[in-house]
Amino acid sequence: MGQLFGTDGVRGVANVDVTAELAVDLAVAAAHVLAEQGAFRGHRPKAVVGRDPRASGEFLSAATIAGLASAGVDVWDAGVLPTPAIAFLTAYTGADLGVMLSASHNPMPDNGIKFFSRGGHKLPDAVEDAIEQRLREEWDRPTGDRVGRILAYADGGKHYAEHLLGALPHRLDDLHIVLDAAHGAASYVGPDVFRAAGAQVTVIGASPDGLNINDGCGSTHLEKLQEAVLTQKADLGVAFDGDADRCLAVDAAGQVVDGDQIMAVLALDLKDRGVLAQDTLVATVMSNLGMIHAMEREGIVVQQTAVGDRYVLEGMRVGGYSLGGEQSGHVILLDHGTTGDGVLTGLVLAARVAATGKPLADLAAVMTRLPQTMINVDGVDKHAVDTHARVQDAVRAAQTDLAGTGRVLLRKSGTEPLVRVMVEADTADRAHAVAQHLASIVRAELALPEGR
């Protein structure tokens, strides 16, 4: 993997790290790489481009569209829509390429560029590497009628909404739901779809002005949603992040229902409907042990992957599984989408409440979350964590001590210079004590020399 692409496309501070020039260059390079791999053979190439409401998305999407058109690609500009909508529309329109301008749950000054291949799938690492290697190369520019044309894709939101409603297993009549759209990409389509599904909807965080995305709202800041659910006496609340590829929920008592609980509820729903492929759920190593134990009791196998939605998706595709996700609320329903979809996840979760007549709290009680402590240790050599003898001895000793009642996970961050120490135990005090002990050993044994 090159230095430019991370685990979820290219991301950084807009107009500093992610510039208009970079957007043009990436678009051109992507067009060239896909053309050389035969993706455009025999037809005029087409791309679908969308963005979240960040102010910087306006110039970055314009630059991306310009780059694609200059490379001879026709562009359907879908405007502000969720990331999973662009993945879906790439497949729905038969486009050769999809591009989403978003930094997801990151603060407003950031932005990012994410590519989808034909069918709405994220690009493989090798293709991203090839794109990076082709940046700013000399190339023969098309002229005349060979330049790309640009079309406003005004019906994109409607087509995405129809897709979501078509995936709904049960209507939401008689449910009162509060939606927090994080002033993000689902601010319009999210409430519209929930209302079309029959729910009474109270909306917060759905007035994007280009500057307020994720600002004290959405799935990373649930306090306003909790307050609104209690004030409105709603049945449940659903919060999206900025690009709506994930969601978290709140029950009628204002208690948070996290991604592990959502996956547990959906796994049972799909199993009951006979559509949970191989009775298997794919989750990452960060999922709570309580969820794994609950699934075992219900006859559902949990396959665990490395952290990151791309690894979850890879595990699902290789194994032929239909449900997977992360504790953060990034849930993939592979029968209906190629990436995590917060709006779809919220709809299916609410449909389970409506179909069973049970409150969300009762459904989420299928699992009991073990107390979990996470400590980020910085200033250390993160690459040595898996091989350092004293650190690994300490991990084994802690695992032996917690055997049957908890677990330990040490892993290097994929995006930051630190080691994450995660401990689950039967009590919060025990989890905290073990995590503190291991963090102190990591800090002492892997400390970087001064100045590094």
Domains and CATH numbers, the chain: 10-154 (3.40.120.10), 159-364 (3.40.120.10), 372-445 (3.30.310.50)
Check if the beta carbon of residue 123 is closer than 8 Å to that of residue 116.
yes
Which is nearest to 194 in space by CA: 359, 52, 348, 355? 348
Do the beta carbons of residue 377 and residue 442 sit within 8 Å? yes
Is the distance from CB of 263 to CB of 277 less than 8 angstroms? no
What pLDDT is stored for residue 408 in this prediction?
93
Sign of CA dihedral 58, 53, 259, 348: negative
What is the structure's pLDDT at 415?
A: 63
* CA pseudo-torsion sign 438, 221, 198, 236: positive
For residue 328, the one-letter residue type is: S
- Retrieve residue 257's tokens: 């229902």
With vertex at residue 318, the alpha carbon angle to CA 38 and CA 9, rounded to the nearest 5 degrees, is 60
One-letter amino acid at 283 equals A
**Partner residues linked to 11 by β-bridges:** 112
Going by the annotation, the residues of the binding site for Mg(2+) are: 104, 241, 243, 245
- Give the pairing of strands 176-180 and 110-117: unpaired
355: closest CA among 161, 190, 166, 175? 175
Q: Please identify which residue in the block is written with the tokens 């979350």.
A: 369
Supply the pLDDT for residue 452. Answer: 54
Helix (H, G, I), strand (E, B) or coil at 69: helix
Contact 111, 103 (CB under 8 A): yes
* Catalytic site positions: 104
**pLDDT at residue 2 in the model:** 47
Question: Could you tell me where the DSSP H helices lie in 37-124?
Answer: 55-70, 83-92
What pTM did the predictor assign?
0.92
* Type and span of the H or E element at 107: none
Angstrom distance (rounded) from CA 4 to CA 20: 15
- Integer angstrom CA distances of residue 314 from 145, 179, 304, 338: 40, 30, 11, 11
Q: Which residues are annotated as a binding site?
A: 104, 241, 243, 245
As a three-state string, the secondary structure of 431-446 is HHHHHHHHHHHHHHHC
Q: Where are the alpha helices (DSSP H) in 215-370?
A: 223-232, 259-272, 289-297, 309-319, 342-356, 360-364
Residue found by looking up tokens 């025990």 in the block: 430
pLDDT at 307: 85
Nearest to 219 by CA among 107, 329, 309, 310: 329
The per-residue pLDDT string of the chain (452 residues; one tens digit each, 9 = 90 and over) reads 347 988 788 999 999 999 999 999 999 999 999 998 888 888 999 999 999 999 999 999 999 999 999 999 999 999 999 999 999 999 999 999 999 999 999 999 999 999 999 999 999 889 999 999 999 999 999 999 999 999 999 999 999 999 999 999 999 999 999 999 999 999 999 999 999 999 999 999 999 999 999 999 999 999 999 999 999 999 999 999 999 999 999 999 999 999 999 999 999 999 999 999 999 999 999 999 999 999 999 999 999 998 888 899 999 999 999 999 999 999 999 999 999 999 999 999 999 999 999 999 999 999 999 999 999 999 999 999 999 999 999 999 999 999 878 999 998 876 677 899 999 999 999 999 999 999 999 999 999 886 55
Interhelix angle 55-70/20-36, rounded to 10 degrees, is: 40
Query: Using an 8 Å Cβ cutoff, are 240 and 247 in contact?
Result: yes
